[in-house]
Structures are given as structure tokens and as C-alpha cells.
Amino acid sequence: MSNELTLKNLKVKYKVMPIRHLQELQEDIDELDQKGKISKNKILRGYIGNFKFQLPDEFQEAKYVIALALESKVALVNFHYNGVIHEVMIPQNYLSSEVTEEDITKSILDDVIKEPGYRVERVRTVHLKLLATRSGLGKYGRNNICYVDELGSLVNLFCFYTDYDFNEDNFQEAKMLDECEKCSICINKCPAQAISQDDFIIDVEKCITLYNEIKGEFPSWIEADAHNALIGCMKCQKYCPANKTAIKNTRRFEDLTEEETMVILEGKGEEEIVNSIEQKLDMYHPSYVKYCLPILKRNLRVLLK
Ligand code: B12
């Protein structure tokens, strides 16, 4: 099995494993948690609190888990402000993709399973990196992110359950990229020392993404120059040698005019301009820009200072 697809010119890679391994994945997490290795931070727990590797009640017939990575590109956009052009990066995970969940589900059914009568359901409430690494789809980088051959870390990860029997098992131990063995670039580039040499789990409370992707004031200890993207952070991925090729594969958005930049900096503006910003930034949900104007306002102010 080639374990590769191409959807709308984007690469998709996947690996499968029997559903029985979900229990082992859950044990991994429970053990780490019992050892106090998973931060009790409320924001983190808000994301992962309901995660569980288990057979869902509504799909008890599921036999296999599909871990899947969709190529996704970082975007660059110019903000015009006071006569100067500022180029800003938007990490891949905040952008919409031409390839939708429906496209992927359809392609798994039509191009992978190829037999009628099977079900494929997406599951969101699982630790995707752990699934991806233990199913053989990728490896952990020192930065705690999952890397997939050819695509680097610039992927969106997905999990699907299916009642199709692949008769194949790729389950394995989580591995670290060989490149990370003698490399400490991400450790040094992280603007808040969240990554360490001796632990794979990052110090979540130091990761600036934890604060800059949601509403609220930044903690005072974050240096203003720590921020480097419109939302989230790219420091541990951008300079990573394992992303050397993938990082060049960017999307270029239409420039934001002085007027549009001002609307973001003020956090409000006429509907027409907000709509135009929304179209240009192409973030992951059509009305995301409206929802996150206060976030973008706070973040862009720091970036343009
Ligand atoms: C909560 C969350 C966050 C939190 C916490 C991050 C974290 N590291 O846990 C915050 C908000 C900080 C965050 C930030 C980011 N996130 Co995030 N996040 C998630 C989310 C929702 C859950 C992650 C999770 O389960 N964390 C809990 C910890 C315990 O799990 P873990 O990180 O896998 O840790 C394991 C390793 O440490 C491993 N381990 C233990 N021992 C060993 C030994 C060896 C040898 C190895 C190799 C590993 C290993 O064990 C741990 C548990 O299994 C996922 C989506 C999802 N449903 O999974 C996205 C997700 C992980 N995020 C993603 C992204 C892109 C990011 C950012 C890059 C966004 C940005 N541009 O700023 C940053 C990266 C920060 C970083 N360096 O980790 C992508 C990652 C894609 C990829 N290629 O891996 C995901 C998968 C979303 C997606 N759909 O694609 N995120």
C-alpha cells in the first residue's frame, strides 16, 4: 500500500492500525499524567480534558484507526502601515485548506477502501501527535511536534475510525527524528525557553502560542519581541533543518491596505472592510476573523511596534 494520496494538489499521507491499540495509547497518556508530566494548566486542560483513545459509543463496529497528515502551507501577508510594508507570517494551522474533511473522507472511501458499505468517521478528541507517531506516520521532533517524511511538520493531522479491516498493523514505539539527536536549534530559537534537551513534553505554560491564540492580556513576562506571527508562533518550526524544504512552500495572500490594517489595529470597522480582510486572510473558518478581531488587534499591535 502506498499510503499516499494527492487531493487538490496537496499531499496526504496516512497509516493504519487496529483499534485495539487505542488502549495502549490511552495508557501512555494516563501514565504520563499520573507521573505529573502533563501540565495542569487550565488552558491546556480545556483543550485536552475530554480527549480519550477509546471506541466511540456511536461506532462500536470500528476496526481500524487511520492517522492522516495533510500537507499545509504557511502563509505570508504584507500589512501596509504608515507607509511601510510589514511582512507577517500566519502559521498553517490557523488557515483554511482547500481540502475539506469531506474531501478526505470521500477519498479514503473511494481511493483507499474502494469497496462499498464501509463507514469512515473523523475523531477530534484524541492526542493526534501521539497517534501519528505510534501509528508510524511520523516522528516527534525535539520541539514536540510531529514530522512526516517529505512534509516536515507543516501538516494538519487527522484521525479517522473505520469499520474496514485493513489487515495491516503499523503500531510502534514513538520515535524522535534522527536529526534532533545533535541539534538544539529549536531549543535556542524558542522565544520563551519552552523546549528542553531532557524532556519531550514542552513546558506548555511557557509556549507563547498558549496565550496569543486566545483572547486576553499577555502575561507580563512575555517579551514584546517574542511574537513573530499574526497568531501562534513559528520559531520552533521555521529554523528547523527538518523543515528546510517544507517551509519554502508558502502561500502568499493579497496585501492588507493601510485602511484594513487600521481596522485590525482598532479591532473594529465597517462590515465591508472586515469582510475584505476575512477574504484576504483565509483563516480556518469563514467568520474566524470577526471572532478573533480582538486577538488579531492585540497581536498585530505588538508585531508592528
Ligand atoms: C493542546 C494543543 C496545543 C497546546 C499545547 C501544546 C502541546 N505540546 O501539548 C498549545 C496551545 C501550546 C499548542 C501549540 C501549538 N500547536 Co497545538 N495542539 C494542541 C492539541 C489540541 C492537543 C495536543 C496534546 O495532546 N498535548 C498533550 C501532550 C501531552 O501530548 P504530546 O504533545 O503529544 O506529548 C507527547 C510527547 O511528549 C511524548 N513523548 C513522551 N515520551 C517520548 C519519548 C520519545 C522518544 C518521543 C519522541 C516522544 C515522547 O509523550 C507525550 C504524550 O504522548 C493538538 C490537536 C490534537 N487533537 O491533538 C494540537 C496540535 C498538536 N497543535 C498543532 C500545532 C501546529 C501547534 C503549533 C505549532 C501552533 C503554532 N504555530 O503556534 C504550536 C506548537 C507548540 C509546540 N512546540 O508543541 C498541530 C501539530 C501538527 C504537527 N505537525 O505535529 C496539532 C496536531 C493540531 C492539528 N490538527 O494539526 N497546541
pLDDT tens-digit map of 181-219? 999 999 999 999 999 988 889 999 999 999 999 999 999
Mean pLDDT of 124-150: 97
DSSP-derived 3-state class of residue 113: helix
Ligand 1 pocket residue status of 127, Cβ below 6 Å: yes
Q: Given this model, what pLDDT does residue 114 score?
A: 97
Residue 284 predicted with pLDDT over 90? no
Residues whose CB falls within 8 Å of the CB of residue 51, separated by 6 or more in sequence, listed in order: 29, 125, 126, 127
Distance from C-alpha of 265 to C-alpha of 285, rounded to nearest angstrom: 21
What distance in angstroms lies between residue 84's CA and the mean position of ligand 1's atoms? 36
CA-nearest residue for atom 74, ligand 1, is 145
Answer positive or negative: Cα dihedral of 213, 215, 221, 225: positive
The pLDDT confidence band at residue 285, using thresholds 50, 70 and 90, is confident
Distance from C-alpha of 127 to C-alpha of 157, rounded to nearest angstrom: 10
Provide the percentage of residues in the chain whose pLDDT is more than 90: 94
What distance in angstroms lies between residue 144's CA and the mean position of ligand 1's atoms? 6
Mean pLDDT in the chain? 96
The pLDDT confidence band at residue 1, using thresholds 50, 70 and 90, is low
> Is there a contact between 160 and 62 (Cβ–Cβ < 8 Å)?
no
What distance in angstroms lies between residue 125's CA and the mean position of ligand 1's atoms? 13
Q: DSSP label at 71? A: E
What distance in angstroms lies between residue 129's CA and the mean position of ligand 1's atoms? 6
Number of neighbouring beta carbons within 10 Å of residue 48: 15
Amino acid at 88: V
Backbone angles phi and psi of 174, in degrees to 5: -70, 135
**Best CA proximity match to 207, nearest among 39, 92, 88:** 39
**Best CA proximity match to 212, nearest among 234, 179, 193:** 234
Ligand 1 pocket residue status of 302, Cβ below 6 Å: no
The pLDDT confidence band at residue 81, using thresholds 50, 70 and 90, is very high
Mean pLDDT of 3-31: 97
Residue 234 predicted with pLDDT over 80? yes
**Best CA proximity match to 287, nearest among 278, 298, 277, 296:** 278
Ligand 1 pocket residue status of 52, Cβ below 6 Å: no
- Hey, what's the cell of 249? 512552500
Residue 286 predicted with pLDDT over 80? no
Residue 256 predicted with pLDDT over 80? yes
Q: Given this model, what pLDDT does residue 294 score?
A: 94
Ligand 1 pocket residue status of 233, Cβ below 6 Å: yes
> Is there a contact between 167 and 115 (Cβ–Cβ < 8 Å)?
no
Which structural domain, as residue segments, surrounds residue 270?
4-304
Mean pLDDT of 137-154: 97
Ligand 1 pocket residue status of 187, Cβ below 6 Å: no
Mean pLDDT of 138-165: 98
Per the structure, the count of domains in the chain is: 1
Q: Given this model, what pLDDT does residue 118 score?
A: 98
Residue 229 predicted with pLDDT over 90? yes
Q: DSSP label at 246? A: G
What distance in angstroms lies between residue 201's CA and the mean position of ligand 1's atoms? 9
CA-nearest residue for atom 14, ligand 1, is 209
Residue 220 predicted with pLDDT over 90? yes
Ligand 1 pocket residue status of 75, Cβ below 6 Å: no
Among the residue ranges 16-20, 46-50, 236-240, 289-293, the one predicted with the least confidence is: 289-293
What distance in angstroms lies between residue 39's CA and the mean position of ligand 1's atoms? 13
Q: Where are the alpha helices (DSSP H) in 39-113?
A: 42-48, 101-107
Q: How far is the CA of 112 from the CAs of 19, 60, 105, in angstroms? A: 18, 21, 10
Backbone angles phi and psi of 84, in degrees to 5: -115, 145
Residue 34 predicted with pLDDT over 70? yes
CA-nearest residue for atom 63, ligand 1, is 93
